[in-house]
Structure 1
Amino acid sequence: MIAAARPVTNPIMAKENRVSVRPISAAASNVRSRRERPCDGCRRRKSKCVPQDSNRCSLCEFHKQECTFIEDPQPRKRKLDADGRPEMPLKKRSIESKVQQYQLEQHVVPVSPPVSAKSELPPVIKDPGQLGDTLSLQRHRHCKHVGRTAHFEPTLIELAPYGSQNEAITDFGVIRKVNNQEFFHLFDDNTSSIDEDEARSLQAVEQIVAPYGPTLIDTYFRNVHPSYPIIQKDVFLNRRQHGDRQFNPPLLAGMYLLAMQWWSREPGLAKQRKPDIDRLQIIATNSLILAMQRPKLSTLQAGLLLLQRPETNTWNLTVQLVALAQELGLHLDCSEWLIPTWERGLRKRLAWALYMQDKWSSLTHGRPSHLRSADWNVQPLHAYDFGENSCVQHGTGGDGFDAAQEENGRTIFTEMIKLTQITAETLDAFYTQSAVSDFERAGNHATRLILERAKPVQIKLKDWAANLPACAKMDSYTPDELSTNVYLHLAYYATEISIHRRIVASLNPASAETYMLYICRSAAKTRLISAMDFVNRLRLEHLDAFWYFASKTNFALIGTFGSLLWSTAPGKEEAQFYDMRLREYRWTLKASAKRVEWMAEAVEVLDANRTMLNALPEKPIALCKADTVMGVKESILIPPKQPFVPMYSEDPGEWPYEDDDDLSQDVEVGA
C-alpha cells in the first residue's frame, strides 16, 4: 500500500523565506535571523528550536529562561575531502542544490548571502553540472529501475503524489517518475565505510599521478574522448574548474590509465618518470567493485574505460556492467524522460557504448551476447545527443580542444554503432547455439543454408561501407595528426571475416559442388588479402591513435582466418601462398608492436596457429590451372561450365548473392 505524501510545492524556498514574528530582545546586539540558527539554549542542547507566540521558544519557555541569540556556534569536527578541506554537510549540499534548481526554474537571480566574520560552514562549492537534478549522477543517492514484473506495480506507483522534483515518498522508499510508465527507486548512499574507502581511493589515485593529473586529463580529452565520448566533457571540466574534486575514483583512475598510453608523446611528460600503472590499476579495480554497490552512470563510465585497456578486458566485467546498466534503465528509451537534457544524451551515448562492448566482447571472447534486441529500445544517436557546448565552428572550442577533431570523432563513434548492429546480426545468424544446430541438421546442405543467411548481412555491410562519410574513410587523415578511424575499418574486416570464416569451415571438398567450392574460397581469399593490405597501409598517425578494445583480437582474427584457409587448402600451391602471406603479416605486426605493444599478442596467436599447422599432412599438388602471384604458384580451382544452382532457389538463374562476382568482389572501405 502506498502512503500519501505531503504536497510539496516548494518546501525549500518556503522555509528559507519564512519571517519570524518574535520580537528581538534589545540586549541581543548580535541577533541573527531564526531561519539561520536556533537559540543559544537549543544549540547547547542540540534540540530543535520551535518558536512560540511569546518572546521565547518552547524549550526556553519550559525552562523559564531567556531565549537569546548571542553565543557563537561551537566548532565542529568535519571530514576532510581529497584536497584536505572540510567536507560540506550532506543536508546543506542537498538544500543548496534544490535552491539552485528552483531559481533556475523560476528565472530567479541568486543573491549572495551576507558574509559573517565567523562563518559556521566552509564556502559552498557550486554545482556547475547540477548533478543534484540528475537521475543517475547524484552525489549521495543512487537509483534502480522498477521493472514491470517486479513486486511493485507501475500502475499503482503512478497513483502516488509526486512533487516538483517528480519524486514521491512511499512506504517502501522514495520513487522518482521519469514518465508515465517508467519509475526508479531512489536509495541514499548512507554507507559510511564505503564513503571512507572511496575518499582514501580518490586520494591515492591523485597521489600516484601527482603533479601530472591536469596534463593527463587534457591528454585524455584530446586523444580518447573524441571517438569514445562517454563522458560529459563540459560538466566534468566545469566541476574541476570550480574546485570540485568529488569524482568517482575508478572513473578518474580509468581516465589516467588510458591517457598514460600517450605519456612518451606528450612534451611535458616524456622526460618525466611514469607513475606506477600497476598500483593505479589495482586501486581502480578494487574501487570499482565498491562503486557497483551503489550503481551510477559514473560507475558504468569507469568500467567501460577500464575495459578499453587490453590488460583488463574480461568477459566477467562486461557481464557485470550489462547488469548494472539494466538497473540504471539504460536499455530504455529516455528521449522524453523528465531529466536534464544533457543527461538524456549521456545516457544514450553510454547505452550504445555498452551495446558495442557487449557485442564485440561476445565476438572476441566467443560468448553469448547478454543484450537481446527484443529488450533494447534505445533510439539512434543524433547530433544533439552529444550536448556539449565546448565546440565552435572554427578553430578550437572554448576549452582549447580541436572542434573539427571532436566532430570527426563523433562521426566515427556513430558509424561504429551502425557497424556493430550488423556485427550483432552476424553473430545471431551464424554463431548462436540455435544457428549451429540448424547447420548441423542441414548436413551436406549446410553451406547453402549459410550462404542464404549471409546474403542480407553482406548487402548491409556493402551499403554501410559505400555510405561512409568522408571523414571516416581510410585515406582521410592529416599528416602528423592522429587518426582514429582505423579501428573502425579493422572492425569492418573482422565482421566480414566472421562471415566467411563460417562459410569456409562448412565446406566439404568431398561433397561440395565444384563451383560452390571455387566461388566461396575465392571470395574468402579476396577478403583476407584486402584485410592484410589494410594492415600494411597503417601509418604512425594511425598506430599512435586511440584503438577500440576489440582491435587486439581483430588483428589476431585476420591471422586466424589465413590459417584456416591454409589448413583447408585443397592443394600444395595454395597452401604455400597462404604460408607466404601469413609470414608477411606476422612481420608487419611484429614491426608495429614496437610502437603499439599490445599487437604482440596477435603475433603470439599467429605463432600458436603455425605450431598447430605443423601437424597437417603434406598437401597434394593440385590438378588444376595455376597462376603465378608474387612469385608463388597459386592453385585456382577451375569453375565448371554450368553455373551452380542453389538448392533453395526456384529460379535456376538466382544465386544467393546478386551475381556470381558478388562473393569475390572486394568492398574497398577506404575508397
Structure 2
Amino acid sequence: MEHSSPQRRRSFKIKTRFGAARQWRSRKNPPCDACRRRKTACIIETSPPCRFCRSKGQACKSTDRDVSGLLLRQRRVTPADFEPDKEIDVDVTDSPTVDTSHLSVPSLLSPVIEQVHSVLATPLTASISSPPGGSRSTSVPVSQASSSTGTYILTSNSISEDVPTVDTLEDNYNRTAHSMGLAAEQDTDLLASFRSYITNEKDGLSSDVIQATPGGLEVGSFPVHFNLLVDEFQPADDRAKLRISETIEAMVAPHALSLIRLFFKHVHPVYCVVSKARFLKAYSENRQKVPASLRGAVYGLGSMFWQHDPDVKGNLEFDLHDLFEAAHASLQREFHAPNLWGMQACLLLLYERAADNATIETPRTWVFSSHIVACAQMVGLHRDSTTWHLVQGEKKLRRKLWWATYMTDIWSSICHGNPPLVYPGSFTTSPPEIDDLAFDEDVPADIQDMVDVSSRTFDISTSARFLEMVKLSQILHELIHSYFLDISYQKTVSEPQVREANLLGVRRELKTWSSMVPNCVTMAYTVDTNISRNNAPLNLAYYAVQALLFRALMSPARMSAKSDPNSSLCRYFDQAVAEFRNFTLFMDKITRACLHAFWGGHARSQLTLCGNFLIYLFLLAPSPGQVHVAFELLGKFHESLQRLREWADDDASLALLRPVALRIDSFFLHAARIMRNGMGGAISV
C-alpha cells in the first residue's frame, strides 16, 4: 500500500490590525499592551481606547513587536518550522489615523489644556517616549508613528506625558454616565478591586463601570463609580426626538439666532445656568449637537423679550406655549439618558412663561422640580467632584448646576409650603466660587457675532448674582428645616426659648448677608447700568426670606397673642414693620424697564409671600397705632402694584403681578368692614 508523502504545509499569513472593534475572545485582532500585560480581556467596541484604558484615563496602544511576539507564542514552534521552504508571514497593518469626528460637542477643557490641545489639533499627535538621556517625550503625527506603534489618544485629552491625564463623564460618544450610589447594585469597594462590565447576548458591551475617584480609607472617602451605558433607545423614541427637533426649528425660523442673542442678553445675566461658550460653539458647528429640549428652552425664554428689545425687527409667528410643550416632549425622552445638557434644559424649562390667568402657583412647578433633583442625582451632581479624574471645566459646570438645582428645590418648595427634597445629608458638593462661574463665559472671537456685545465677555455681576442667591438659599434652607417642617415644628413648639434662639441665629446670618452683598447686586446698580442685569429678583427673594423669618419669630400668630405684651407677636411686631417699610421702598424702585426684564419663575410666589405678610401684620397688629402703621404699608404696596399693572403690557409681567394683585385687591374690598367690625368675617389672604 502506497503511502502518500505528507503534503507540504501551507504557509499562512496572519493579518492583524490594532484599532478595530475587538470582542473579549478575539484572536484576530491583538489586544493593547496594557491588557496583554495584565492578561485580561481587551474589549474595543468600535475604536480605541479599550474599556480598561478608558477607565484608567491612559493611552491605549499596541506595538508591532509585541504583536508579532504574541503570534509566535500562540503557535507551538517545531523543527519543521525552520525548514527553508517554510515561512511565517506576519503582516501588521499600519495603525490608522485617529478619528475624532465622534466628539459630538466641544469638550469641557480647562483653559490651559485647551491651549495645549489646540496646538496638537492638526494633525492629531501621539506621545512617543524618548530614549534615556533625551527629552521626556516628543510629539509626532500619528501617520508617521504608525509604522512603529499604534497609539490612540483618549477623548479625555490625554495629550502627552507632560499633561496630567484626565477623563470625562460628559463627552463620551454615544455613552451616558449614571451615578452609582453606595446602595447601588454592587458594593463600591468591591468595584474598586475588580473590573466590572456587562455584555449582552451578542458579546457586545452594554454597560461599563468606570471609576471617578478611588477614594481612600485614610481620609475617610470612598470610591465613586459611574455606570457608562451605551445609548440605545427605542426606535420610536429616536424618531420622536428627531421629529420634535425639526418641529422646533421650523417654528422659530428664521429668527433662531435672534432668539439666542436675546436669551444671552436678557436671561443669562440673571440666571447663568447655561454653559455659554460651549453652547454657542456646539450650535455654530451643528445645532443638532444641542438637544432639542435645551434649544427649545433657549428659544422660548429669548422670545419673551422680543417685544421690548429695540434690536429686533419683525414678528414672531409661533405660539410660545406650543414651543415649550415641544421642548418638554423632547426632554421626556431625553430622561432615558440624562446628562449636563439635559440638566440645563430642565433648569430653564422650569421658568417657562406662566399662565396669565393663574391665581396660585401651578403645582407643576413643584412636580417638575422633583424631576430636576432626580436628574441631578442620576448624573452625580450631588457628589463633590473636587478629587475626581475630570477636566476642570466639567468639575466647574457640575458644581454650578448642582447649586442651581439646590436653589430650584428650596424656592419651589415654598410655593406650596412643601418640605424640600434636598436635605443637608443628601449632598456633598462644595459651594461654588467665582472661578466656577467665570468658566466658559468668554465667547471665542469666531462666534462672538452670535451674541450681543454685552454678552461676549465675563461679567462679574452675573456671577455675583448667582453666588449671593446661593448664600441666601442656604439661609432659607436652614430656616425651613429648623421651623417650617412638621417634625421641626412639633419638636420646637414645646421649647419656645430654644426655638427663638435658633431663629435669632438665622436672623443674624440674614443681616450679615444683607450687609455684605456687593454693590453690583443692589437695586442702585440695576438703575445705573444695563437693565438686563436685573437685581430685583435677588432683592425680592431677600424680603421673602424676611417674611418667613418673622412669621416664625412671631409664632403662634393667634388672636390671644395680640393682648399679651410678652408674646412673640408683640415683641417682634415693630421690627417686622420696620423691615417691610424697606420692602415698600424696594417696590417703588421698580421701573418700567425693570418690570420687563427677566424675573425667573419664583418671583410670583415670593411677591405673594411678601404681600400676604403685609396683610398678616395688619390683621394681627396689637394696638390701634400699629394697625394704622400696617395699613399705611399696605396702601403703599397697593399703589406700587397699581403703577406696575399699568406698565404690564406683556404676558410675562402680567403673570408676575396677577396673583399678589388679586390678594391685595380682595383685601381692600373688605378692609373697611374689617376695621369697623373686627375679625367677624372672612377675608382673602
Question: What is the TM-score normalised by the length of structure 2?
Answer: 0.69
Query: Closer, same or farther in 2 for the Cα pair 1:607/1:93, shift >3 Å?
Result: same
Question: 93, 97, 102: which is aligned to 2:102?
Answer: 93
Report the Cα offset of residue 4 of structure 1. 4.9
Report the Cα offset of residue 586 of structure 1. 2.5
Aligned to 1:144, what secondary structure does the other structure show?
strand
Report the Cα offset of residue 449 of structure 1. 4.6
Letter of the 2:539 counterpart: H
Show CA shifts across 1:631-668 (max 9, x none). xxxxxxxxxxxxxxxxxxxxxxxxxxxxxxxxxxxxxx
Letter of the 2:552 counterpart: R
Whether the 8 Å CA contact 2:618–2:631 is kept in 1: the answer is yes
> 2:470 matched to 1:461?
no
Query: Closer, same or farther in 2 for the Cα pair 1:196/1:10, shift >3 Å?
Result: closer
Query: Closer, same or farther in 2 for the Cα pair 1:363/1:476, shift >3 Å?
Result: same
Report the Cα offset of residue 211 of structure 1. 0.6
CA distance in 2, matches of 1:112, 1:215: 43
Aligned to 2:229, what secondary structure does the other structure show?
strand
CA distance in 1, matches of 2:302, 2:263: 5
Whether the 8 Å CA contact 1:332–1:378 is kept in 2: the answer is yes
**1:423-438 correspondence runs (5 A):** 423-438=476-491
CA distance in 1, matches of 2:205, 2:580: 63
CA distance in 2, matches of 1:236, 1:251: 10
Whether the 8 Å CA contact 2:237–2:333 is kept in 1: the answer is yes
Query: Closer, same or farther in 2 for the Cα pair 1:539/1:112, shift >3 Å?
Result: farther
Partner residue of 1:177?
Answer: 211
Question: 321, 324, 348: which is aligned to 1:281?
Answer: 324
Partner residue of 2:132?
Answer: none
Aligned to 2:387, what secondary structure does the other structure show?
coil
> 2:194 matched to 1:160?
yes
CA distance in 2, matches of 1:601, 1:351: 30
Question: 391, 403, 419: which is aligned to 1:340?
Answer: 391
Aligned to 1:526, what secondary structure does the other structure show?
helix
CA distance in 2, matches of 1:500, 1:233: 39
Whether the 8 Å CA contact 1:390–1:398 is kept in 2: the answer is no
Partner residue of 2:600?
Answer: 548
Report the Cα offset of residue 464 of structure 1. 0.9
Partner residue of 2:631?
Answer: 579
Query: Closer, same or farther in 2 for the Cα pair 1:170/1:619, shift >3 Å?
Result: farther
Aligned to 1:143, what secondary structure does the other structure show?
strand
Measured on the aligned residues, the alpha-carbon RMSD in Å equals 4.1
CA distance in 1, matches of 2:188, 2:341: 27
Aligned to 2:305, what secondary structure does the other structure show?
helix
Report the Cα offset of residue 616 of structure 1. 4.7
**1:44-59 correspondence runs (5 A):** none
CA distance in 2, matches of 1:371, 1:215: 37
Letter of the 2:663 counterpart: V
Partner residue of 1:349?
Answer: 400
Report the Cα offset of residue 455 of structure 1. 1.0
> 2:579 matched to 1:527?
yes
Partner residue of 2:659?
Answer: 601
CA distance in 1, matches of 2:484, 2:578: 23
**1:5-84 correspondence runs (5 A):** 5-6=41-42, 11=49
Letter of the 1:6 counterpart: C
Report the Cα offset of residue 324 of structure 1. 1.5
> 2:534 matched to 1:484?
yes
Query: Closer, same or farther in 2 for the Cα pair 1:610/1:307, shift >3 Å?
Result: farther
CA distance in 1, matches of 2:63, 2:280: 34
Partner residue of 1:498?
Answer: 548
> 2:229 matched to 1:187?
yes
Between 134-143 and 408-417, the greater mean CA deviation after superposition: 134-143
Query: Closer, same or farther in 2 for the Cα pair 1:199/1:378, shift >3 Å?
Result: same
Between 412-421 and 305-314, the greater mean CA deviation after superposition: 305-314
Query: Closer, same or farther in 2 for the Cα pair 1:337/1:479, shift >3 Å?
Result: closer
Letter of the 1:217 counterpart: I
CA distance in 1, matches of 2:329, 2:346: 11
**1:110-121 correspondence runs (5 A):** none
**1:88-237 correspondence runs (5 A):** 93=102, 103=124, 106=127, 134-136=168-170, 138=172, 140-161=174-195, 173-180=207-214, 181-191=223-233, 192-237=235-280
Whether the 8 Å CA contact 2:104–2:289 is kept in 1: the answer is no
Report the Cα offset of residue 96 of structure 1. 12
**1:652-663 correspondence runs (5 A):** none
Report the Cα offset of residue 339 of structure 1. 2.0
Point out where structure 1 has 5 or more consecutive residues left out of the alignment.
22-51, 58-89, 114-125, 164-168, 622-671
Query: Closer, same or farther in 2 for the Cα pair 1:389/1:528, shift >3 Å?
Result: closer
Q: Which runs of 4+ in 1 moved over 6 A?
A: 12-19, 94-102, 109-113, 169-172, 396-399, 611-615
Partner residue of 2:589?
Answer: 537
Partner residue of 1:471?
Answer: 520
Report the Cα offset of residue 363 of structure 1. 1.7
Question: 490, 494, 497: which is aligned to 1:441?
Answer: 494
Point out where structure 2 has 5 or more consecutive residues left out of the alignment.
1-38, 51-58, 68-87, 94-98, 108-119, 128-137, 145-154, 160-165, 198-202, 215-222, 355-361, 680-685
CA distance in 2, matches of 1:367, 1:315: 9
Question: What is the TM-score normalised by the length of structure 1?
Answer: 0.70
Whether the 8 Å CA contact 1:233–1:388 is kept in 2: the answer is yes
Identity fraction in percent? 23
CA distance in 2, matches of 1:54, 1:112: 21
CA distance in 1, matches of 2:171, 2:435: 20
> 2:423 matched to 1:372?
yes
Query: Closer, same or farther in 2 for the Cα pair 1:520/1:252, shift >3 Å?
Result: same
Show CA shifts across 1:577-635 (max 9, x none). 433432432332233243322222221233355568688574679xxxxxxxxxxxxxx
Report the Cα offset of residue 258 of structure 1. 1.0
CA distance in 2, matches of 1:518, 1:105: 76
Whether the 8 Å CA contact 2:464–2:521 is kept in 1: the answer is yes
